[in-house]
Structure 1
C-alpha cells in the first residue's frame, strides 16, 4: 500500500472540520478521549483515525457489538501501536472491507442514496469482504460501507469529510453524512444566516435556545420534535420576535447576534 502524503498535523484540521460541521448542524456532541464508557452515546465519529491503540480498538468493537454506531473516515486503524503502517488495513478484523491504495486528491466525491458526500486530502480504494456498499466513487467502485456487528453498526468512508468541512462545509453535505450515520438532530434550523439551536432536556422538560451568530438580522425556522411546541417564551433579544408557531415548528425574526429561549411542552 502507498504511504499517505498527508501531514500528521492535518489531524488538527480534521478535528476542526468535524466540530464546525456538527456545530453548524445543531448537533450536540462531546469530544471523548476515554473509550471505556461509550454506550451513553448513540454514535461515535472518528476523523482521520489512523493511529488507534489496540485497547481502544477492543473498546470500539465492544461498543458496536452492544448497539453503538461507529463512523470512521479513511485510514481507520491503519497504524499499529508504535506508529508503523500495518500490512493489512484496517487492523481490526471483521469490518467487511480492505483498503487497497492511497490516492491524493483535493476533492473526493462519494455518491450515496442520501446525496453527494464530499471529502478531501485522499481517497482510498477498497475491496469488499462482507460489508454493504452504501456509497460509490464516480466510477462505480465502492467508497463507503456499512456492516452490522452484534447489535450495532460500523460505517466506513474512504476519504476525509472532516478535511473538506474544514473549509467548505455545507448544510446539504453535512445532512448527507447525518443520513448515512442514522443521526437525527434534536432540532433543525432553516435559515440563510448562521443560526444554530440547542435543546436542553431535564426530565420531561425541554428548553430550546436559538442563536443568530451573524452581524445582521434575518429569519429562521426551527424544526422541533413533532410532539413539542412553545409553552412560554423565557427570553428574547429586544429586536427579535416570534412570527409564528405550531406543533414542531417555530418561525423567528432575529436581530443581529440575537437570541431566543423558549420552554416547550
Structure 2
C-alpha cells in the first residue's frame, strides 16, 4: 500500500500568524520548513542549494515465532530499521517504503544473514550492521540514536531520501538528513534530482543508478564513488565516514540489484558478519535457534529446484537420521555442535 503526498501549503500555525501588512508584528522565525518539498529553489537546504523537484510518500514488518522451538530469538547481527510512522511519507512511487525495505532484506537474505527489523529509535548496539533503506520521515530522537550507534562502533548504511522530514512532516532546515545523522555520515544533501523512468546514471566504480540522485557535499566523509555524467558530474554518490569507533555509509542513488547486493556484501565483510551457516549456496535459507542451555539448531529451507549438499553431515531432527543434503523444496532441522 503506497500513498502519495503532494506539495503542501503552509502549516495552520503559519496561516494564523499575523502579517506586517495587517498591523501585527511578525512571529519568531520558524525552526522547521513549512513545506515538505518545493518545485523551485528550496530555502531549507542552505544557501548553496539550487533547484528542487517535487517528491512523494514511504511500514514496518511482521516478525514470526515458532512456539515449538526455544523461546529465545535467533542471534542476529544485522538490523533493518523502520517504523509505523515511516509509511506516511515516501519520495516517489517507484521507490516506495515496502519496495526499499524488501530489497534491503533480499540482499541480506541472499548473503545468508539473519535479519531483525527495528524501530530506528530503539537500542541497536548489539548489531554489527544496520541498514536504513527508507527513513524519509525520521524523528530527532531516532536520528540521535543512529548517530550514537555509529559513534559506539556500529556500521550504518543510509540510503537516499532519508531524514528529509521530522515526525510532524516538517521539512528539515539546513540540508538533509537530520542534523545528528549528518554528523555521523559526514555529508550534507543539498538537493535531490529524481531520474526519468528509463534514465540510468553511471558511477565512477562502474555501478549504475536509477530512480533517484542527490547533490551532496562531504563534511568529513570519504568519497568512494562519484557521478560521471550529467549535472551531478563529480558529485559524491557513495561515501564512508569514520565516526567515533564506527562507520557511516551513505548511498545517494538507487543501484541495480546486483550492484546493491555487492555493496551489502562488502559492508557485511567489513563489519565482520558471517553467513548463518557458511558454505550454503544462494537460495538456501538458514536460521539458527539458541536455547538457554547453549544448545542450538539450524533450520534450513531449500528454495531451489536442485538438492543442496550440506557443508558436513549432521543429524536431522525431522527424519531422525544423518542428513547429507537438503532436497529441492525441502527442509531440515540440524542439531548444532
Output the TM-score relative to the length of structure 1.
Answer: 0.73
* Residue 205 (structure 1) shift: 4.7
- Rate the CA distance shift 1:46–1:173 in 2: closer, same or farther, 3 A: closer
1:84 pairs with 2:170: yes
Aligned length: 235
| Rg larger in structure | 2
Please list the CA deviations of residues 136-180 of structure 1 after superposition, one character each: whole Å capped at 9, or x if unmatched.
33445421111111111111111235xx6xxxx44x741332213
1:142 pairs with 2:224: no
8 Å CA contact 1:49–1:74 kept in 2: the answer is: no
Please give the alpha-carbon distance, in whole angstroms, between the structure 2 residues aligned to 1:221 and 1:173: 28
Please list the CA deviations of residues 20-78 of structure 1 after superposition, one character each: whole Å capped at 9, or x if unmatched.
33233322111112623111211211112221100111111111111112210012222
Please give the alpha-carbon distance, in whole angstroms, between the structure 2 residues aligned to 1:189 and 1:83: 46
8 Å CA contact 1:130–1:147 kept in 2: the answer is: yes
Please give the alpha-carbon distance, in whole angstroms, between the structure 2 residues aligned to 1:2 and 1:86: 14
Please give the alpha-carbon distance, in whole angstroms, between the structure 1 residues aligned to 2:302 and 2:226: 37
Pick aligned residue for 2:191 from 101, 107, 114: 101
Larger strand fraction of residues: 1
Question: 1:99-248 maps to which residues of 2 (within 5 A)?
Answer: 99-105=189-195, 106=197, 107=200, 109-110=202-203, 112=205, 116=207, 119-139=209-229, 141-161=235-255, 169-170=257-258, 173-180=260-267, 182-183=270-271, 184-186=273-275, 187-188=277-278, 191=281, 194-202=283-291, 205-214=295-304, 216=305, 218-220=306-308, 230=313, 232-235=314-317, 242=324
* Residue 135 (structure 1) shift: 2.8
Contiguous gaps of at least 5 residues in structure 1: 224-228, 243-251
Please give the alpha-carbon distance, in whole angstroms, between the structure 1 residues aligned to 2:225 and 2:317: 44
1:31 pairs with 2:125: no
Contiguous gaps of at least 5 residues in structure 2: 1-50, 58-89
Q: Determine helix, strand or coil for the equivalent of 1:100.
A: strand
Please give the alpha-carbon distance, in whole angstroms, between the structure 2 residues aligned to 1:4 and 1:40: 38
Please give the alpha-carbon distance, in whole angstroms, between the structure 2 residues aligned to 1:56 and 1:91: 10
- Rate the CA distance shift 1:34–1:47 in 2: closer, same or farther, 3 A: closer
Q: Determine helix, strand or coil for the equivalent of 1:31.
A: strand
Please give the alpha-carbon distance, in whole angstroms, between the structure 1 residues aligned to 2:130 and 2:290: 21
Q: Determine helix, strand or coil for the equivalent of 2:212.
A: strand
1:263 pairs with 2:335: yes
8 Å CA contact 2:316–2:323 kept in 1: the answer is: no
Output the TM-score relative to the length of structure 2.
Answer: 0.59
- Rate the CA distance shift 1:141–1:195 in 2: closer, same or farther, 3 A: same
Please list the CA deviations of residues 209-257 of structure 1 after superposition, one character each: whole Å capped at 9, or x if unmatched.
321124x3x143666xxxxx55x3224679x962xxxxxxxxx3x4331
RMSD: 3.2
* Residue 128 (structure 1) shift: 1.8
